[in-house]
Amino acid sequence: MKNIGYIIALLAITAYSCGRITFDMRGASFGNEKTCQVVYFENRADIVNPRLAAQMTDALKDKIQSNSKLKLVNSNADVMFEGEITGYSVQSGQITAQNRAETDKLTVTVKVKYTNMLDSEKNYDKSFSRFHEYPGGADLSSYENQMVEKILEEIMEDIYNEAFAQW
């Protein structure tokens, strides 16, 4: 009987030390929705990354196609995503004794309106924001593409979960 306790403790420690646990949203709940429209996300941020609007729109379409059975259409969809990029900013982090920022932070904010034509209780209109840090004082362009890709991936997960995973 004592061995069972040790085994359970060992399994718990092993599971905890293996890193982040992720949940696959492929099992998200869909009612009668069969079609989806993603309207092009305009970039209205003060700082404009010229590729971000297309990346954002394509990333959301890819997320929906790879995680649902919804068919993408250009009009008369059962569900629709529309919105705009409202923020793209760089901020310095904590200052060291040498008056240098230890890290800088790139933040992207997106306002999304989700409309479910079949169930208006699922509609939402809200902002999603994510950031990533990079070495303070470093040239943003050296890290920007990789960070934007990660940020968009996280924002897409948030948008998708808000629409289809009512926990």
Nearest alpha-carbon partner for 86 in 113, 54, 48: 48
How confident is the model at residue 17, as a pLDDT?
42
Of 106, 126, 92, nearest in space to 49 by CA? 106
> What average pLDDT values come out for the chain (167 residues) when binned by 10 residues?
50 42 47 94 95 97 96 97 97 70 90 96 97 89 95 97 83
CA-based nearest residue to 64, from 23, 34, 84: 34
Number of domains composing the chain: 1
As beta bridge partners, residue 85 has 43, 110
- For residue 8, the domain's CATH number is 3.30.160.150
Distance between CA atoms of residues 90 and 97, nearest Å: 21
Predicted local confidence at residue 10, as pLDDT: 42
C-alpha 83: how far from chain center: 14
Its domain, for residue 106, covers 2-164
User: Rounded to whole angstroms, how far apart are CA atoms 42 and 110?
Assistant: 10
Contact 35, 73 (CB under 8 A): yes
